[in-house]
Structure 1
Amino acid sequence: MREGTETEALTSLLEVIDAAGAVGWVLAGMALSAAIVTFYKIVVFWRSGLWQTKTLRQARAKLRQGEIVEAVRMLDRLHHPAVQLVTLGVDRARTIGLDDKNLEIEMEQLSLGVLERLKSGIRYIGAVAALSPLMGLLGTVLGMIDAFRQMEAAGNQVDPSILSGGIWLALLTTAIGLVVAIPATAAQIWLNSVIQKTTRRLEETGTAVLTGLHIHTLKARSVNNAVNFAAE
């Protein structure tokens, strides 16, 4: 029973799209591609660990206290892009020492690269959201032109059903365009909000890394000074 209902619904949907003509099928293709890209971005965000924020927040607290080793241990199994900033900061501090200016530039470049990869595809969804109402309007205009052309061809024997039927089909493309645009716009807004939150977390992590490395360095110097003083 349920399968029959789903089949009927799909058939009705295809009939509506077919009634809208070529513009209807173009809009259907735009809707399908936007849905695929949205699903793909969700998978990418999930695999990138963008929602693993609790552990990241705890690790940042450790970094601000200068507990670098503990923070790295907490982030060991995390996939969030912010982990790359911590790894970069720790590696640079170990190999060439703490250099605030250069390290900050490197972390900024790394963050920009990560965000650019995460943003890929969202612009396409935005394009679908912006263009689908215009495509629907184009279909409406073409449908109205065709309806009035049929009226002109009919001459004095104009059938009102020709005009009403033409207008109905013409407005159908506008409706389909809006149906495509609304969820595409919602998807774009939501995906951008995830990017904005990720940007903020990357900035907070970068600041925490610099702060943590400074505190860790000061602690190490204090221990060395104490050892040297005791040796004297």
Structure 2
Amino acid sequence: MISFDLSELGVSGPILLLLGLLSLASVSVLATRILALWGVGKGRVERDEMLEKLARGEVVAVPEKGPADRVLNRAAALLEKGVSVEVLTSEMEQHGNAESHVLYRGVRFLELVGMIAPLLGLLGTVLGMIQSFRSLELAEGAANASILAGGIWQALLTTAAGLVVAIPALVGAALLTARAEVGATQIERTMVGALTSARRRMQK
């Protein structure tokens, strides 16, 4: 088993520490957002039933398990106040856009981690290589190959660490985007259904 002390890695040590902090942050964001988006696509049948009741003029409300449910309840509340279709459309667009924006929270951060982690790893490797060759120069030929090799593998460690941090972050960003798109589709579907129900309701 390979063990090392960050203080022994010279300039590469702080970069490894920073990569470790980025890894912890990205894992925390990913876990939090996965839990938040877990049931984002559920409740479609219940919402369809509520939309039918809404079109018949009944007072409806669904348990707010996700953003689409909140959009539907908002539409029902506005219709109970007797707003016009134009006002309802404007309100639904604003509310739907706000809910959709929340769905993508955390994705940009994970994408940012996925982009900068390999660059930080490369920076650590370059700085470590500079340090190793500088030590070789100062030794004026007295340093042996094993000492140089030890400095090089320590420097390359930051590149590997950067990739280890970046790959899960990018995979997590893709997973969150897929779940957010499911939720956004449900919001859009609910908005269209609410407007259709409103027009049917006003025609009666």
Q: TM-score range by the shorter chain?
A: 0.7 to 0.9
How many angstroms apart in 2 are the aligned matches of 1:86 and 1:165? 63
TM-superposed deviation, 1:116 = 2.5
Select the residue among 161, 164, 169 that pairs with 2:149.
164
- Map 1:15-34; keep pairs closer than 5 Å: 15=3, 18=6, 19=9, 21-34=13-26
Residue 58 of structure 1 and its aligned partner are, at CA, apart by 4.6
Deviations 1:30-75 (A, max 9, x none): 10111111112123334xx414x2x3245226626835649x36xx
Give 1 or 2: higher helix fraction: 1
Give the structure 2 partner of residue 130 of structure 1: 115
Separation of aligned partners in 2, 1:68 and 1:185:
47
Residues 17 and 68 (structure 1), Cα distance of their counterparts in 2 relative to 1, 3 Å cut: farther
Q: Give the distance between the partners of 1:81 and 1:114, measured in 2 at CA.
A: 6
1:17 shift after superposition: 7.4
CA contact (8 A) 1:139 1:173 kept: yes
In structure 2, relative to structure 1, the CA distance for the partners of 1:25 and 1:164 (3 Å cut) is same
**RMSD, matched Cα:** 2.4
TM-score scaled by structure 1? 0.76
Aligned amino acid, residue 40 of structure 2: L
Task: State how many pairs are aligned.
Answer: 199
Q: Which structure would you say has the larger RCO, counting Cα contacts within 8 Å and 6 or more residues apart?
A: 2
Which residue of the partner structure matches residue 60 of structure 1?
48
In the alignment, the residues of structure 2 paired with residue 156 and residue 145 of structure 1 have an alpha-carbon distance, to the nearest angstrom, of 16
Q: Structure 1 CA distance, aligned partners of 2:4 and 2:187?
A: 46
- How many Å separate the matches in 1 of 2:57 and 2:30? 37
Name the structure 2 match of 1:44: 36
Runs of at least 5 residues in structure 1 that lack an aligned partner in the other structure: 1-8, 222-232
Query: Using a 3 Å threshold, how does the CA distance of structure 1 residues 103 and 176 change in structure 2: closer, same or farther?
Result: same
**Do the aligned partners of 1:129 and 1:182 also contact (CA within 8 Å) in 2?**
yes
* Unmatched runs of 5 consecutive residues or more in structure 2: none
Match of 1:91 among 72, 77, 82: 77
Sequence identity of aligned pairs in percent?
Answer: 31
Residues 1-232 of structure 1 aligned to structure 2 (within 5 Å): 15=3, 18=6, 19=9, 21-46=13-38, 49-51=39-41, 53=42, 55-60=43-48, 63=51, 66=55, 69=58, 72=60, 76-97=62-83, 99-218=84-203, 221=204
- 1:148–1:208 CA distance, 2 compared to 1 (3 A): same
Tell me the TM-score normalised to structure 2 length.
0.86
